[in-house]
Chains A and B, each alone.
Chain A
Amino acid sequence: MNEPEQAGLARLRDGWISGGAAFELAPAEWKEVAAAANPDEQERRLLAIAAQALDVALRPAAPKTLKRRPPLPALAMPMIPERLRPLLRAALKYAADARLKARVATLVASRGFVLHPMDWMPAASDQESPEVYAPWVDWQAGADGEKQSRREQLTAETWDDFYPAARRTALVDLRRTTPALARTLIETKGASESAEVRLALVELMRFGLGADDVPFLKSLSADRSGKVRELAGRLLARLGEHGNQADGGSEDPTAELAAFIEEGKSGFIRRRTTYAPMKLKSPAQQARRADLFASCYFGDLVARFGKTEPDFIGAWQFGVDDNADRFLVLMVSVSGSDAAVACLADRLVAEGGKLPLLALQLMLRLDSGRKRLLISQILNDAQNLHALNLVEGVEAGWLDWGDLAKGKTLSALRSAVSGDNSVMKRSAEQYLEAIGFLATAATAEKLIGEVVTAGLPPASPSLGLLRLNAALAENRSQSER
């Protein structure tokens, strides 16, 4: 379309927008086409020509400020084979929330694959998805540029070349292999970061935490951020460094907390010391005690009674006051030493009943073996299977058929799916999803057979994760990677 025509079209357009005859405004060539007709027909003919001109001869003008995102980074694992994507999508669809969807991604990553980005993407704030997705987390967070952080070693020089999620992953790796180097990086580079970033960096000190970290953590007692100071204090407490040295006077919170705990004796022949929460008289006392459990360090409390952390845990009377039990476990998880956490987890699992559920608070600090033991205990007595959906930080795909078959879970699942109680059926379907994450491929395969034989419809969507689990192993054996 030439310039006079464009100008004429613009005039026509303006004329029609406001209304009335626009024939005289048209380009000369268009007028010739439309001339030999009555006035209405002239307008219609011009309208038809204008429509074609707008359709074919004019294109929407692209803004000059169009912004492209950097390419989505390639990940270190291959994409899940195309033929498994329907099973994957079914499992993702059944997963009710972001946490359960991330669990599907964790299972798939444990078998050496990543998901297709159009099927699932980690959120920008995601810290729970497998580490292999760190480049996508950074991409989601809007990182621009061409940084290739994962291929480099994280050093003071390359610090700025890493996006936050990739840097976090690299620091965790470093803390596990050469903790001193990671500490030096956190110390030197963290000082110039904002309080929020400093807090996130210091939080990584929990990986590979050791006595060598004490001087740095003590230096943080002068940090500008109260949250950083608090976190450093807890980490020091885990290392047996009593953070709140106080005089024991009326202003000492640890002493105040100790006053809520009653020392007693038990046993006839071998008298031994016990500790139990005192009976509280008012909601105000309950609130105060909760605050004190949250703010004091376990090491300080134990020192008040002149005991070691494991001894105190051994002497604690569980079951007297459920709230106090919960607060104590939370306190140990935050500021107890590794030995205290292990001792407490062992005791809770050994006690059975409802107590193993309290150990879920310790999950992030438990080693892999204890995590498995805890889950095995939950599966064994089948009383608290709903807790399977609460476990965090546990590995995927390790539960053998023997572990599952020896407990009560299998029979509980069988009776739930074959019975008439719809609530139990729905619960059983949730447990199947949870076990779908934990099970080995062979276990997944067998479990599907068991529950289908018991009456669960073979096409039940609740079997989605189990089917994906089983198919992923089958795929690996076929060397499709």
Chain B
Amino acid sequence: MQLDLKTIEALAPDQASLSAASKLTKRSNWPRLEMNEQLGLIWGECQGSGSNPYRVAFDTGDHGYKCTCPSRKFPCKHILGLMWIGATAPASFDRVDQTPEWVNDWLGRRRKTGQQPAQSAASAEGKSIDEASRPDESAPVEDAAAAERREAAQRKRAEDTRSAVSAALDELDQWIADQLRLGLAGFVDACSERCRRIAARLVDLKATALAGRIDELPARLMALRGEEKPDAAIRELGKLVLLAKAWRATPDDPELKRLVSTSETREQVLANPDAVQVASDWEVLGEKIETRRDGLVSHATWLLDLQSPAPRFAVLLDFFPASAGRRSGAFAPGDRFKARLVFYPSRTPLRALVAERLGDAAPGAWPAFASDAGDPLAAYAAFQDGAPWLSDCPVILPAGAIALDEKDGAWWQAANDPHGIALPVEGSVNRTLLGLDLAATAALWNGARLELLASQSNMGRLDLS
């Protein structure tokens, strides 16, 4: 396995990429660096600006590469950084015999020519590793007056935003009252157009997060059967009313700001002393990937805390443009790792960032969580008490099985109560699941449907997302 800096120079799309890559050559940026010498592969996880690290792989044989970041430069700075470490500090890589499944997945999808890389195809002209390695000496020094002006401008912008959002919520209130007056039957039929119009208004008035949520409302309604749509519309619009009221009561609340206008940056969350931090063993329960109407793909990775006595969850949420193509996630369902997570401040902390990866966790079954024997959705009720404007709540369901109704719709049914508690499951299920006993099931409950993530069963762990 040989890599040299000339190759990196030749492959880099431009000098800026090389300069950015040089900043990623510190070992601390890479919670994981591994290589398989037999296969000629190096891969790693690089902590980027997303909520979870980017997965980066490079084939030293034919210079094929893969990175989960949304960059439109090929190769991106993460690939170049990985190669750079491979060329200058190969000892940083742990030697392993087996490749992780995400690398196997990538290899399986590749259309390989099997040709050796053509060195002449890429040129190093206009790019220099030496120049990229030089420390940046041109950082501007800000004087005190400028700093004060900048802060004042920031305060002004924040005040403007608050006023605009307040106006947005007034318009939203009026719009909701209009929908009730016109009738929800008509709203359900024309929700796509009506939601689009109010969402556009909300974007104009800087309530962008709320606009995104309303933009998704038609899709949520469309997924339901006709007779369920009015109830779903009442639930969704009612939650919007609650959210608007909560924001008006405490407009500086970080959770409400995040849901109505904009989210904090990764750096702000990490620097927040009030943010809950949990160092534990985590299992990736599953992923939920949705393409939104605004052209973004939301990629949610749900995690389960394996050391908590009661079920505790986290979700790593990333957004990237749909035009960037399909991206594989940083984690695969079933992965287990030790990590310190920092949660976005919230009444019901769920959204989190991986602050520090601390190695892999041992495989095994989920802990036997103490469950509420009477109601598998007790956690959902508590969740709604804390944040009634939210929808998806992760739950661990007790022993059960999947059954079918007359229309072939799937239901999760409690094992010890065959004629009692049963919850409808979203979408179709793998038919094999119908014959398995589920000792415990992790799912998202949205008040109407269960979205299955994973199960522990008599056949081991099942990926259901």
Contact = CB atoms under 8 A, between A and B. Distances in A.
Contact of B231 (A13, A47, A65, A68): A13
Contacts of B388: 51-52, 55
Interface stretch (B21-29, B127-135, B172-180, B257-265): B172-180
Given A44-B176, A56-B384, A79 B235 contact: no
B423 A60 contact: yes
Interface string B213-248: 000000000000000001100111111011001000
Contacts of B331: none
A116 B459 CA distance: 7
A422 B59 CA distance: 20
B348 interface: no
A56 B384 CA distance: 8
Interface in A12-49: 13, 16-22, 40-41, 43-45, 47-49
Contacts of B463: 118
Nearest to A84: B98
A152 B238 CA distance: 61
Contacts of B100: 86
B455 to A, nearest CB: 10
A112 B61 CA distance: 35
A48 B241 contact: yes
Contact of A54 (B99, B116, B363, B447): B447
Interface in B371-426: 377, 380-381, 384, 388, 401-406, 411, 413, 418-424
Contacts, number: 186
B461 to A, nearest CB: 9
A59 B411 CA distance: 13
B234 A50 contact: yes
A272 interface: no
Given A16-B184, A93-B108, A457-B59, A71 B40 contact: no
B406 A48 contact: no
Contact of B230 (A16, A43, A59): A16
Interface stretch (A334-342, A392-400, A458-466): A458-466
B174 A66 contact: no
Contacts of B289: none
Given A16-B183, A66-B422, A459-B39, A51 B404 contact: no
A312 interface: no
B160 interface: no
Nearest to B382: A56
A89 B101 contact: yes
Nearest to B59: A459
A228 interface: no
B184 A60 contact: no
B250 interface: no
Given A17-B184, A48-B238, A62-B411, A422 B113 contact: yes
A458 B447 CA distance: 49
Given A66-B404, A66-B405, A461 B430 contact: no
Contact of B238 (A50, A59, A94, A417): A50
A457 B432 contact: no
Nearest to A90: B104
B435 A51 contact: no
Interface string A444-473: 000000000001111111001000000000
Nearest to B38: A458
A68 B404 CA distance: 7
B33 to A, nearest CB: 18
Contacts of B61: 457-459
A44 B403 contact: no
Contacts of A20: 181, 183
A248 interface: no
A70 interface: yes
A300 B353 CA distance: 80
B112 interface: yes
B62 interface: yes
Given A47-B176, A425-B114, A457-B61, A121 B234 contact: no
A47 B238 contact: yes
Contact of A459 (B107, B380, B406, B420): B107
Interface in B106-130: 107-108, 110, 112-116
Nearest to A91: B108
Contacts of B380: 56
Interface in B46-70: 59, 61-62
B395 to A, nearest CB: 13
Contacts of A51: 234-239, 241-242, 388
Interface of A: 13, 16-22, 40-41, 43-45, 47-52, 54-56, 59-60, 62-72, 79, 82-83, 86-87, 89-90, 93-94, 116-118, 121, 139-140, 417, 420, 422, 425, 455-461, 464
Interface of B: 38-41, 59, 61-62, 98-101, 104, 107-108, 110, 112-116, 173-174, 176-177, 180-186, 230-231, 234-239, 241-242, 245, 363, 377, 380-381, 384, 388, 401-406, 411, 413, 418-424, 430-437, 447-448, 458-460, 462-463
8 contacts: A44-B180, A47-B180, A48-B242, A55-B384, A60-B424, A87-B104, A117-B435, A457-B112
Given A19-B180, A461-B108, 7 more contacts: A47-B176, A56-B384, A68-B434, A71-B437, A121-B432, A425-B114, A458-B41
5 closest cross-chain pairs (CB), A and B: A51-B238, A19-B183, A72-B435, A62-B422, A40-B177
